[in-house]
């Protein structure tokens, strides 16, 4: 049972798919929409990192910059999300309508990228995160940009 999670709202994954949150009863029970071969239940959390400001030689500290493109190489991943500090969230890896339902969504290995046409800014924080329980392994990230304004 899940008595250690009694009276808590928890995230659930069934057979590799993210399911709606459940509230665990005082006795440790909860219900899902159907039966699953493998269930994971627990507290949701957000894994994230924020990039440091870009710099090059000679130094570009203090100059306005703009990110034109982000490129990621990932391995066995799903649910990669990015925000540029403006409140807009871009999901680069997600389950699509073409994925079969009732089975775990396929994980992606390879390169994914996102083009941006944002404004120039002196402090451009890029947050990369995962918040739905799916695996995310980032092997590298490239930030292409320009300076000036």
Within 10 angstroms of residue 125's Cβ, the number of other Cβ atoms is 13
pLDDT at position 88, please?
87
Burial class (CB in 10 A: 0-12, 13-18, 19+), 47: exposed
- Tell me the longest C-alpha to C-alpha distance in the chain: 63
Distance (Å, rounded) from C-alpha 126 to C-alpha 95? Answer: 23
Phi and psi of 3, rounded to 5°? -60, -25
Per-residue pLDDT band for 57 (boundaries 50, 70, 90) equals low
pLDDT at position 102, please?
65
pLDDT tens digits for 65-92? Answer: 778 899 999 999 988 999 987 778 988 8
Per-residue pLDDT band for 105 (boundaries 50, 70, 90) equals confident
User: Rounded to two decimals, what is the model's pTM?
Assistant: 0.77
Residue showing tokens 């039966």:
35
Residue showing tokens 């995230």:
11
pLDDT at position 49, please?
92
Q: Which tokens go with 114?
A: 């996102």
């Amino acid at each position: 049972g899940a008595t250690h999670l009694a009276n808590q709202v928890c995230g659930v994954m069934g057979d590799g798919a993210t399911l709606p949150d459940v509230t665990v009863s005082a006795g440790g029970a909860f219900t899902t929409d159907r039966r699953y071969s493998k269930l994971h239940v627990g507290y949701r959390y957000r894994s994230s990192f924020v990039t440091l400001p870009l710099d090059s030689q000679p130094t570009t500290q203090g100059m306005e910059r703009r990110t034109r493109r982000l490129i990621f190489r990932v391995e066995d991943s799903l649910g990669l999300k990015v925000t540029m500090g403006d409140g807009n969230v871009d999901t680069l890896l997600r389950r699509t309508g073409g994925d079969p339902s009732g089975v775990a969504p396929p994980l992606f290995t390879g390169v994914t990228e996102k083009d941006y046409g944002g404004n120039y800014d002196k402090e451009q924080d890029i947050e990369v995160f995962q918040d739905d329980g799916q695996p995310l392994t980032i092997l590298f990230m490239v930030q292409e940009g320009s300076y000036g304004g």
